[in-house]
Amino acid sequence: MKKIIIISGVVGAIITLATFINGCKPSEAVANRSGAQIWGETCVRCHNPADPATFSDTEWDVAAMHMQIRGNLTANEIKKVQEFLQSAN
């Protein structure tokens, strides 16, 4: 009887862990968004986004660092946004 309870507990823990790990991954559609899409969807939440040509690459680097924290963006998302913004210069 103890073996069944222990096995059931281990199986339950594995299923819970697998569900938690897979539940934290962004969907493929979200992960595949372009820098332009992320910029357009995220920046307009709080302000009118600036024209990409408004700032130099260095100024966009500083803004991206700040907005990664404020906008709750992942490192991959902010990299895509920076590449988009800097491609306009």
75 and 39 share one domain: yes
38 and 12 share one domain: no
CA atoms of 55 and 82, how far apart (whole Å): 11
**Whole-model pTM?**
0.63
Tell whether the model's pLDDT for residue 76 goes beyond 90: yes
Q: Positive or negative, the Cα torsion across 75, 28, 46, 79?
A: positive
43 and 61 share one domain: yes
70 and 42 share one domain: yes
Of 50, 48, 47, nearest to 84 (Cα)? Answer: 50
How confident is the model over 50-75, as pLDDT tens digits? 888 888 989 988 988 888 888 889 99
Q: State the total domains in the chain.
A: 2
Of 74, 88, 10, nearest to 42 (Cα)? Answer: 74
How confident is the model over 11-54, as pLDDT tens digits? 555 666 556 655 555 666 667 899 989 988 888 888 887 888 88
Full domain range(s) for residue 14: 1-26
22 and 43 share one domain: no
22 and 37 share one domain: no
CA atoms of 35 and 6, how far apart (whole Å): 48
